[in-house]
Structures are given as structure tokens and as C-alpha cells.
Amino acid sequence: MKWRNYAKKAAPLCIATSQWRKRRFVGRFMARYYSDKLARKYGIYCSPLAQIGTGLMLPHPVGVVIGDGVIIGPNVTLYQHVTLGKKTRDGNDYPRVESGAIIYAGAVILGGITIGQNAVVAANAVVQTDVPANATVGGIPARILTRRSAPPS
């Protein structure tokens, strides 16, 4: 039996679920179908109500949770066991991840938090405040470790 890299299929399916939800009945059905397929096959919960930009990368797509109102910009990388969701059951505030951000394994981002452009969240960090652009945060609770100058355009 040939070995196949199924992990490469997870990110496009996750993006597709967020795009299909905008369509009528068939689109909603397909979004729910692929959301369930991702949960069964890869252990990923990717809500069809999340807004996901193009170029999402999931190098190790195991245990990733993307909640209903999460907004993910283009070219974001999420590693295994990353949780993006709301803080309380009654709350309506979800995190926003801007373009080029990298979130390493086990990071937890809950509530109305913004992760800036090209920001890096270290492994197992618990982010409780906004992360500025071009910054690296880590720890429990997450603190700013370094700030980089803006990359050249």
C-alpha cells in the first residue's frame, strides 16, 4: 500500500468549509459534511461559520479547534493542538488572527483577542491580551518576548 500524505488535504478542506457556508442548501450541506469528515479523519474541529483566508497551513493537523466566529487572515500557519475560540459560553467575542501569523503547538487563544500581522505565538502559550504586529509571545500567561521591525515590502 502506498503511503499518502493526508495532512496536505486538511487545510484546503478547512478553507472550503468556510467558503461553502455562504451558499444556499447544497453549500451548507457540503460545509457540514466536510467539517464532520475533518473531525473524524484528522481530529480537527473547523467550524463552517469561521472566516478563513486563503493559504492556511496546517503542517500537523491533529487536535486543531477553530470556533464559530474566528477570523483567520491569509497565509496563517497553525500547528497541532491549537485552540481558537470564545472565552465564555454566553460571550460573542472570538479571536482574530491577521495575515502571516504563526501559532505553534498547544497554544490557546480565547476571547476577543487580535494576533497581529507576522506575529509568532510560542508553543503552549495562553494568550490573554492582544499581540502586536511582528512580535513574539510566549508563556502562561503570554508575554511579549521580542519585537521585530516590520519586514521590507
- Tell me how many degrees the CA angle 68-17-35 measures, rounded to the nearest 5: 75
Q: Exactly one of 81, 83, 95, 103 is catalytic; name it.
A: 81
For 99, counting Cβ atoms within 10 Å of its Cβ (0-12 exposed, 13-18 middle, 19+ buried), the class is: middle
Other beta carbons less than 10 A from residue 147's beta carbon: 11
> Dihedral of the CA atoms 87, 77, 118, 109 (nearest 10)?
10
Q: What is the residue whose three cell numbers read 466536510?
A: 34
Q: How far apart are CA 118 and CA 114, in angstroms?
A: 12
Decide if 87 contacts 100 (C-beta within 8 A). Answer: no
> Is 60 a residue of the active site?
no
Active centre residues (catalytic)? 81
